[in-house]
Amino acid sequence: MTEIGTERPTASTSAGDVQGSVSHGVEHYLGIPYASAPTGALRFALPAPVTPWEGVRSATELGPTAPQNPYAGAMARILPTAIIPGDDYLNLNIAAPAERGEGLLPVMVWFHGGSLQHGSNALSGYQGGAFARDGVVYVAPNYRLGAEGFSVLEDAPLNLGLADQLAALRWVQAEIAAFGGDPTRVTVFGQSAGGNTVAALLAHPQASDLFSRAIIQSGPLTAQPAKKSGRITAKIAKDLKVSATRDDFARTTPEELLAAQARVTAGSTPITGGAGYALTLDPALVPANPFDALTSGAGTGIPLLIGTTTDEARLWLVPSGLVMKLKGIHLALARRKVGISAAAVMLFKRNRPHSITGEILGALATDKLLRVPVNQLADARLSGPAPTFVYEFAWQSPVEYLRAAHAVELGFVFDDLSSPDSLGLAGSTAPQALATEMHKAWVDFAVSGSPGWQPWTAHRPVKMFDGAGNPVVLAPRDDERAALTP
C-alpha cells in the first residue's frame, strides 16, 4: 500500500519497494523499471522480467531514456529532446493523486510519439500531473526506439519496442493497484508513432486483457511487410559495413547505430518519404495490418477515441521551408504514387483558392494518410458493441505558421500549456479554456467511456476543438473525404 500524507511516499511492487515524492498534491514515482535493461544477452531480445532489489529504491529522479538522436534541422526548434544516459531505460513514470478515497482509480497509460525513433517519458510535457489532479493514475513508459527497437534482423524478434509496451501493460496489470490504480480500468493513449502502436495494441488478441479503452491521436493505422520496413535496417547495415543480423548489430554500439541512423535518415519525413522506421507484420505481435484487423472486427469491444489535427502535414512542410519549394510536378508525382485522382486534387484546390501548391499537397497528405483512415475505421466499428468517438483539433498555432499541425494538440491534452514542449508548438498565447475542455474530454473518457459528445453514427459527428466554441460538426469536409476514399 502507498503511504499517504508523507513527503516521501512509498509503494510496494513485486520486485521491491519504491519511494517517490509529493508535489502540489500529486505523488510522482519516476524511473521504475518494468523490464530488465536490454543490454548484453538481452539486447535485441524480448523484454525480460526485472531483477528484484533489496531495500527501498529511490524513484525521485527521471530514469534513463532510450538511445536516440535529437531532432535535426527546423524540427529541433520546435520539438524538444530529453536524453538521459543509462541502461535501465525500460522504465516508467507514475503520477497519482496524493489524497484518494477507498476505491481504486482509473488508469491512463501514455505511449509517446516520435517516428519510432524519438521521444521519452522524461519530456517535461509528459509528467502527467494534471491527470493525477483530476483523479487518474497516469503511467508513462519508455520503450526501445530506432535500431534497438524496430530493426528487421535475422534471428531477432521483430517489433521489440511494441513488445516493450506490452510488457509495460502487463506490469500495470500486476502492480498498479499499489499506486491506487484500477487494473480493470486502463486506458491506453498515444500520439503519432505512439498512436500507431496503440492501433497495433488494440488489434492484438490480448487487448481486452490489458486495457479497457483506447485513444489514438494522429496515429497511422499501418504496419509494413518486413521487406519494406527492413529497408532502413539494410541501409544502416550497409553504412556500417556489417550484415543485418542480430550478432553484427549486437557487436555495434548504440552510439554507432545512432550515428548511422542519422546519416541514412537525413532529409526524410513522413510526408516526403525516405528512410524511416515502421511496425513490421509479424505473426507474434502484428499478425495483420492494424487497419485491416481493426476494420475486420478486432478491438470492437473496446471504446475508442480517435482523431487528427486539421493541418497535420504542416509540421514537416512549413518550418523547414519545404512548403515553398514544392511545385506542380511534385504534386503530380505524389498523387500518382499514393493513388489520388486528378479530380480530387482539383477539389482541394477549389476549396483552398488562396493556398500555394505545397499547402495543397499537405492537405491531401493529411487526409489520405490520417483523416480518411480514421473515418473508415469509425465506419467499420458502427456494427460493433463499443462506441467510437471522433475529434479534430483545429485551433491554429501562431508559431512558425504551424496552424493546427501535427502534435500541436499535446499541451492541450495534458493541460500543460506552460511546459517548454507546448510553448515550442503552441506559443505563449494558447487558450487555457481549450486546454481545460480538451483535457477534461480525455479524463472523462478514461473515467466513464465517453468524452462528452455523441458517438460515431452514419451522420459522422466530429468534435472540433477549435478554441471558438468547440462544436460538434456533422461530416466536416465530406466532399474531400469522399474524393479520397477508395
| Amino acid at the residue 53 | W
The pairing of beta strand 137-141 with beta strand 56-58: unpaired
- How far CA 480 is from CA of 251, 291, 341, 391, in Å, comes to 50, 21, 12, 17
312 is catalytic: yes
The strand ranges marked E within 192-278 are 213-217
Q: Could you give the strand order of the β-sheet that contains 10-13, starting from the edge strand earlier in sequence?
A: 10-13, 16-19, 56-58
The count of C-alpha atoms lying within 13 angstroms of the C-alpha of 370, restricted to the half-sphere facing its C-beta, is 31
406 carries an active-site annotation: yes
435: nearest Cα among 125, 82, 215, 199:
125
Where do we find the cell 490480448?
206
Residue with cell 513488445: 163
Closest CA to 2 of 446, 22, 187: 22
From 192, 212, 218, 229, the catalytic residue: 192
Cβ-contact 280, 230 below 8 angstroms: yes
Closest CA to 397 of 421, 365, 373, 371: 421
The Cα 397–Cα 74 span in angstroms is: 16
Say which of 27, 312, 359, 392 is annotated catalytic: 312
Question: Cell numbers 516526403 correspond to what residue?
Answer: 272
Distance (Å, rounded) from C-alpha 301 to C-alpha 387? 8
Q: Which residues carry out catalysis?
A: 192, 312, 406
